[in-house]
Structures are given as structure tokens and as C-alpha cells.
Structure 1
Amino acid sequence: MTTSCSIPGLNVPRSRFPDPGEDLPAQGNEQRVVLAGGCFWCVEAVYLAMDGVSRVVSGYAGGAANTANYEAVCTGTTGHAEVVDVHYDPTRVSFGELLKVFFSVAHDPTQLNRQGNDRGTQYRSAIFYETAAQKQVAEAYIRQLDEAGVYPDPIVTTLEPLDAFYPAEDYHQNFAARNPYQPYIMAVAAPKMEKLVDRYGDRLKPEYTDNDTGSTA
């Protein structure tokens, strides 16, 4: 992983991103969504801060079990993407709200098979859906964002069925909070957290709005 990342969405006001026209019901037990948006360290940090999110696990999806390890995935030949498995309470934060943050803060959905200088299919933008309803809501929101012209370039996020999720090695979990001064975290994760706090402060856990970036929570 290199030390720069260009995320046009960080410069687009929150007001430009519409609320999803479709969403999943705000009821039921804990739900999950598996998202790929480049380096999982940074995407994980964003979702750990959101109110209603109970846990986030960094890992791999899109490839086979025998190559679901960091060394293999980094070759870009396994079919895996770096992903985060986000578990949330749908009565407190909706699937659509999680998607809105995914497209507006967590990464740049217009970069094909890369995020900034991180290049390869393992850094692709993808939503790994478990149900037809998840796929439908995600498809509808991508259309909505493209039609609204939020980004100057089309969104390239793929929608892929979640065949399996493989947790990453222990040292990757909660990486940003445990290593706030690591150069990559300072260069890439910290700006995302600053924008998250600035633009979605009303949707965050209290401990993340009590400091500048939330990276120490």
C-alpha cells in the first residue's frame, strides 16, 4: 500500500449526495454488508465510527479460500478484493445510509481497479451483496448518483454476489485506531475521518465527535 489517495468525493459537499431513493426496511435483527473500497484499513476506520454499526471486520471476498491471505491477495491475481464486513442495527442506521457514506467518504467509486496509487483488482470498488434486495437498492443508488452528476466520471463500482467472506489476519483488524501515526494512515485514513466527522457528525458515535479525527477511539 502506498501513501497517497485521491478521493474526489471528499471535495463534494454532503448536500450533493442525495439520500437513496430506495432502502431496506428499518427493522429486524443485526444485518451486514460487505464493501470493497481500496485499502481495508481506511474503509474499516470510517465504518467503525458510525452510530448503529456494531462491528467491522477487515477481510477478503471474491476469490477462493486457499488464497485468502494478505500475501497472495496483494499479487492481484486471486480474484479477491480487500473488503470490510460491516455489521449494523437497521433500526439505527440504514443500508442506504451506509451506502451514502461508502460513495461520498469511504472511497472514490470512479477509479477502476485502484484507489489513488494502490493499483490492482484487489483495490476495486465493489458491493458484495447477500440478497436480491441489497443488489436492487445498490443498483438504484448508483443510477441515482450517476443521474445527479455527483461525480464528473461514471461510477465503476461492481455488484458481486457474496460467495464467502474471509477475515484478514489479526494485525489488520482495527489497524487505523491502533496505528494512528503510521504514514499511510496519516495520509489516507485521517483525511477521510476528518471529512466524516465534518459532514456526518450527526451520524457518528459520540466518542468520534469529541476529537478531531476519531482515529483514537
Structure 2
Amino acid sequence: MPSPLQPLARRAAAGGLITAGLLAAGLLAAAVVPRLQAASAKDLPDPAVVETSAGGSTATATAVLAGGCFWGMEAVFEHVKGVTEVVTGYAGGPAATADYEQVSNGNTGHAEGIRITYDPAKVSYGQLLKVFFAVAHDPTELNRQGPDVGSQYRSAIFPADPEQRRVATAYIVQLNRSGVFPQPIATTVETWRGFTPAEAYHQDFVARNPTHPYVVFHDKPKVARLEAEFPGLYR
């Protein structure tokens, strides 16, 4: 079933269906679902398998990741040094169904995700994955993130090439073996089927709506954790 926050907090921002004041009065608190304690970045090992062409002659590279509502994911990676652009959007399903209303039904195959453009000479794909697993979301939750429920909120990596697939797959195995998470990692490494940017009102949502109840409760703490646990990568 859809998350109670979806038709309230999220569509309220998109279409003005209800006011943020109603959420603040108690609807947000009622929708909160307990989640596992996230692992600390200091406990996560660096990826043992790294990309062999990091830097190279490529000025920029792209990474597509999904981990719950794309608002918070976007906000986190916009604060990572070496990242030049983050776009929210849809990945994993056909282009014909890549719009918010259809994806929200949870039956399109899409996940809400982000496309990260970055300078591999300044930040590696492996470092992006470490941020992804440590602070951007909880990788042990299956087909949900906190109050958001459905396959569209799954934890997934969409490698752009065999090199990214090799690094991502090896890192998941490494993290599971390390035992830093209390449950097995649910993140899937999926086939690249393209990426469709989300509607304009979803872009830079956290930066444009800093007092939105969902942003305050779910997204800003992730950015704060990035700053606290990755001071060398935070900007």
C-alpha cells in the first residue's frame, strides 16, 4: 500500500492538496515507522575493489543510485565534493511510465533515484557508494525507506558500465561480510535501462523547501550526518 506520507507530504508540495501545518499537527508523527540504526561511516570499510580507470582521461562520469525518496538522496550528494550535478528521476522501468503519478503506484519497475555527475579525479565511484550506504539511506530495508513503502523506494544501484557493476557488487559482498549492519543488505545491482529526470517541482526540493515537515524530519538529518561523518568530502 502507498506510504501515508505520499499523498500528504509529497503531493502537498506538488499540488497544494493540504497544508504543511496539518502535518505538523500530528499526521507526520503518525506516519513515522521505526527503522534500523544506520551504521556509522567510521565503521564502514572503504571499498576493497576500486575502479581501475579512476581519473583517467574522463573529465566527468555519472552514477545512478536509488534509496527511498529522491529528495533526500539528492540533497546529500549535492554536498559531496567533486559532484557537479545531481538530478532526481526514475530508473529501472520503461521510459513510457517514467512520471511521478505512474511510478507512485509501485508497479512500473521504476525506482525514485538520482543521477550524479562527478569528477572522478576528485571523488571516486567507490567513495560515492560509501556515502550511499553510510548516510544517504538504510540499505537493509527492503522495498521501503522509513515511512515510504513500495518497490519504487527500493535500494538499488544502476551501473553505467561493467566497471561500476564490478565495484558495486564487490562492495555489497564486502559490507555483508564485515557485519557492520545488523541485517543483510537489501540493495540490488540492476540492469541499466536509462534514466528519466523527474518533474521540475522535484528538482532541488530540499534546497527550495527547507521548512517542509518531511524535509526537516527525514532529509536534513542525512545532510547533517554527511557533514559530521565525511568532513573531508563535505562542501
Quick check: TM above 0.5? Answer: yes
What are the within-5 Å matches in structure 2 for residues 138-157 of structure 1? 138-157=168-187
Query: CA offsets, 1:29-75, max 9 Å, x none?
Result: 20000000000000000000000000000000111122110011000
Alignment match of 1:8 (pick from 37, 44, 51) = 37
Letter of the 2:225 counterpart: K
Query: CA offsets, 1:175-203, max 9 Å, x none?
Result: 00100000100010011111111111211
* Alignment partner of 1:52 is 2:82: yes
* Superposition deviation, residue 152 in structure 1: 1.1
Contact 1:7 1:107 (C-alpha < 8 Å) held by counterparts: no
Alignment match of 1:135 (pick from 165, 179, 199) = 165
Counterpart of 1:203? Answer: 233
Counterpart of 1:63? Answer: 93
* Alignment partner of 1:17 is 2:47: no
Counterpart of 2:149? Answer: 119
Aligned length: 203
Contact 1:45 1:176 (C-alpha < 8 Å) held by counterparts: yes
SS in 2 for 1:54: strand
* Alignment partner of 1:191 is 2:191: no
Alpha-carbon RMSD across the aligned residues, in angstroms, is: 1.2
5+ long unaligned stretches in structure 2: 6-27
* Alignment partner of 1:90 is 2:117: no
Alignment match of 1:162 (pick from 180, 192, 197) = 192
Counterpart of 1:26? Answer: 54
Q: What is the rounded CA distance, in whole Å, between the counterparts of 1:21 and 1:100 in structure 2?
A: 11
Counterpart of 2:104? Answer: 74
Q: State, as a whole percentage, how many aligned pairs show the same letter.
A: 50
Letter of the 1:135 counterpart: R
Compare 56-65 and 22-31 and name the one that shifted more. Answer: 22-31
Q: What is the rounded CA distance, in whole Å, between the counterparts of 1:7 and 1:131 in structure 2?
A: 32
* Superposition deviation, residue 164 in structure 1: 1.1
Deviant stretches of 4+, over 4 Å:
none
Compare 20-29 and 75-84 and name the one that shifted more. Answer: 20-29
* Superposition deviation, residue 14 in structure 1: 2.0
Q: What is the rounded CA distance, in whole Å, between the counterparts of 2:193 and 2:182 in structure 1?
A: 32
Change beyond 3 A, Cα 1:39–1:20: same
TM-score (norm 1): 0.90
Query: CA offsets, 1:12-33, max 9 Å, x none?
Result: 3322100000111321220000
SS in 2 for 1:155: coil
5+ long unaligned stretches in structure 1: 206-217
Counterpart of 1:106? Answer: 136
TM-score (norm 2): 0.84
